Chains A and B, each alone.
Chain A
Amino acid sequence: MNHVVVEKLKTRFADAAFEFSEFRAELTVVVPKEIITEVCQYLKEAPELTYDSLSDLCGIDMNTPAKRFGVIYNLYSLATKHRIRLKTFCEEEDPTVPTVTGVWGTANWHEREAYDMFGMDFQGHPDLRRMYMPEEFEHFPLRKDFPLMGIPGSLPLPKK
């Protein structure tokens, strides 16, 4: 099934710079962030592929000077029972990624969580608020430069 996806993507997006890799029989496709929505829409709607559910979406901090932040999409097809993974990266200075809430409704909360934890701006998201942390919180806790013990005084506590 993995090679079918690779072939289809290569034919449909002929001049896109994809990177394919396989580990433990799981296919990972690195997609340029400009076309991520388009690729997702295609994978959802193309017959034979039909990745109709987005199992999971999460952010990642690679802690590298270039392409520091990434978004990982784990797709699943109820029809073919197959999983693939998409990845897209953005720069530290410009942490923006187009939203996929228009493709799968479930991306809404996942993207809010990724924003909450990594500070990525999902452009076009209908309601980009923090998911877990309070709205006044200024940091992004899952970034690698955020200390494990937290930053003293960063969480406002109720007055006595």
Chain B
Amino acid sequence: MEQHVEEVTRRTKILQALEDQNTSVSFDDPLENQMVLNMGPQHPATHGVLRVLLRLDGETVVASIPELGYLHRGYEKLAENCTYHEFIPHTDRLDYLSPMNNNVAYVLAVEKLLGIEAPPRAQYVRVMVKELARISSHLMFLGSLAMDVGALTVWMWAFREREKQYDLFERIAGARFTTSYTRIGGVAQDVTPETLELVKKFVYDLPGHIKECEKLLNKNRIFVDRTDGIGVITKEQAIDLCYTGPGLRACGVGHDLRRANPYLVYKDLDFDIPVYEGGDALARYYVRMDEIKESVKILKQVLAKMPQGDVHAFKPKKVLPRKERVYTKMEELIHDFMLVNFGVEPPVGEVYQAVEAPKGELGFYIHSHGEGYPWRLKIRSPSFVNLQTLPVMLQGCMISDVVAIIGSLDPVMGEADK
């Protein structure tokens, strides 16, 4: 009896504390009110620090507002204060799920500004790392979307494959995550034949593992029910909001910059562009799974066609010389000093170079005043623009679908917030 009384007093005290902190809210009629729910920025399903404000009517989303800026580091301001070479490591931190891709996209923009081109072997190596990065990013998408709708095994299996890729990146670039692999006019170092063998082994093994994951998901009632017809966006809305990448191809628009404005050696490679009509989360999943298979196809061709030769363009006043020559040759020492201290000096002008990143169109706009530093560098990141479609997709969906839709959109906040 005494114990019971004690229990009651303890409970009253907790309730008292709650009341004191003004945490209780009373409604006249709960069914007549709309509720505002704050999701994020610290939420495991928002892929980083995305914050979404949701206005709910019961369980239905009436309106939503994405809020960005929780990871804003001011890379565009930093870019104006470093030389073109110094900015390469910063590009790793944009879309950190496929850093190789950003490295390549950035140096392509600078090379366009300078009017130089990397030698053939470097171009093939760049395509190789770019497609590896695409697979890496899509595997992350696969794992996280499956986990967001409740299938944990696929996440583990996708990460097993990504782990192998990180080992490859370590062999290629020397770092697993922040690769900083490309250089203006080439790549940091050549790929050894042993590494190419390992890449080959990975590429030939991957389709089997992807099939395993597909077996778990494609005909899985729960997965299909959670994604089919969810987060629909029409073709017209997608083009109006400039939605790019796999999401646009899931709306029935076969637009891919690798085919539309070929860069590097993509015009010599044979690959298909997967297009689906649904415009929903399931279609976005199918497009990405097919793209992994197309990337495997590209990688097989790249490995077969990889030419021999140098991986640095011979432009002494533009391209950083090799370290062993800097230490032994006067000419290279002078160039190294000039390039490191004053930067590569491009002509006055402006360029916009876009590549097809795993998430969509990744563009760099560079405005040069002829100095070693860019006057203005704008990063057109796919995640930023794609996130703008979120309110359209969320309109009218159930609250449990919000995580599935964000998962199918596949944003990376490092790039959306710059």
Establish whether residues B388 and A109, one from each chain, have CB atoms under 8 Å apart when the complex forms.
yes
On whether the beta carbons of A81 and B354 are closer than 8 Å, the reply is: no
Q: Does B77 lie within 8 Å of A142, measured CB to CB?
A: yes
Q: Contacts A131-B69, A132-B69, A133-B72 known; A54 to B242 CB distance under 8 Å?
A: yes
Identify whether the interface residues of B are mostly helix, strand, loop, or mixed.
Answer: mixed
Pairwise interchain contact A81-B261, C-beta atoms closer than 8 A: yes
Residues A85 and B77 in contact in the complex (CB < 8 Å), given A78-B255, A106-B388? no
Given contacts A105-B240, A141-B74, contact A55 B354 (CB under 8 A): yes
The answer to whether residues A132 and B352 also contact, given A24-B113, A54-B242 and a CB cut-off of 8 A, is: no
Shortest Cβ distance from B4 into chain A, in angstroms? Answer: 42
Name which of B68, B77, B361 has the most chain A CB atoms within 10 A of its CB.
B77
For A110, the chain B residues whose CB sits under 8 A away are: 385
| Residues of A with C-beta under 8 A to B90 | none
In the assembled complex, the Cα of A90 lies from the Cα of B113 at a distance in Å of 26
A126 to chain B, nearest CB (A): 13
A residues within 8 A CB of B255? 78
- A-B pairs with CB below 8 Å: how many? 87
Asked if A56 meets B363 with Cβ closer than 8 Å, knowing A24-B112, A106-B241, the reply is: yes
Say yes or no: is B239 at the interface (Cβ < 8 Å to chain A): yes
| A64 CA to B214 CA, complexed, in Å | 58
Other-chain contact of B242, A53, A60, A142 (Cβ < 8 Å): A53
Contact call A60/B351, Cβ cutoff below 8 A: no
- Known contacts A78-B253, A131-B68; A58/B378 CB under 8 A: yes
The answer to whether A24 and B380 touch (CB under 8 A), given A58-B365, A106-B388, A109-B388, is no
Q: Which A104-123 residues sit within 8 Å CB-CB of chain B?
A: 104-106, 108-110, 117
Cβ-closest chain B residue relative to A62: B375
Question: How many residues of chain A have a CB within 8 Å of chain B?
Answer: 34
Residues of A within 8 A of B81 (CB): 148
B350 near A23 with CB under 8 A, answer yes
Q: List residues of chain B with CB within 8 A of the CB of A132.
A: 68-69, 72, 417-418
Contact of B115 among A24, A53, A54 (CB under 8 A): A24
A134-B69 Cα distance, complex, nearest whole Å:
8
- Is the C-beta of A72 less than 8 angstroms from some C-beta in chain B? yes
- Does A28 count as interface, using CB distance less than 8 angstroms? yes
The answer to the question of B141 belonging to the interface, with a C-beta cut-off of 8 Å to chain A, is: no
In the bound complex, CA of A131 to CA of B418 (Å): 12
Contact in complex: A108, B365 (CB < 8 Å): no
Q: Which 8 A-B pairs have the closest CB atoms?
A: A132-B69, A106-B242, A23-B349, A56-B380, A132-B72, A58-B378, A105-B240, A81-B260
Query: Which B residues are within 8 Å of any A CB, using their own CB?
Result: 68-69, 72, 74, 76-78, 81, 112-113, 115, 237, 239-242, 253, 255, 260-261, 349-352, 354, 361, 363, 365, 367, 375-376, 378, 380, 384-385, 388, 417-418
Measured CB to CB, the residues of A under 8 A from B are 23-24, 26, 28, 52-56, 58, 60-61, 72, 74, 78, 81, 83, 85, 104-106, 108-110, 117, 130-134, 141-142, 146, 148
Q: A24-B112, A132-B68, A132-B417 are in contact. List 6 more A-B contacts (CB 8 A).
A: A55-B363, A58-B365, A72-B365, A74-B352, A131-B69, A148-B77
26 CB < 8 A contacts A-B:
A24-B112, A24-B115, A26-B350, A26-B351, A52-B239, A54-B242, A55-B242, A55-B380, A56-B380, A60-B367, A60-B376, A72-B365, A72-B378, A74-B365, A74-B380, A78-B239, A104-B240, A104-B242, A106-B241, A106-B242, A106-B388, A130-B69, A132-B417, A132-B418, A141-B74, A148-B81
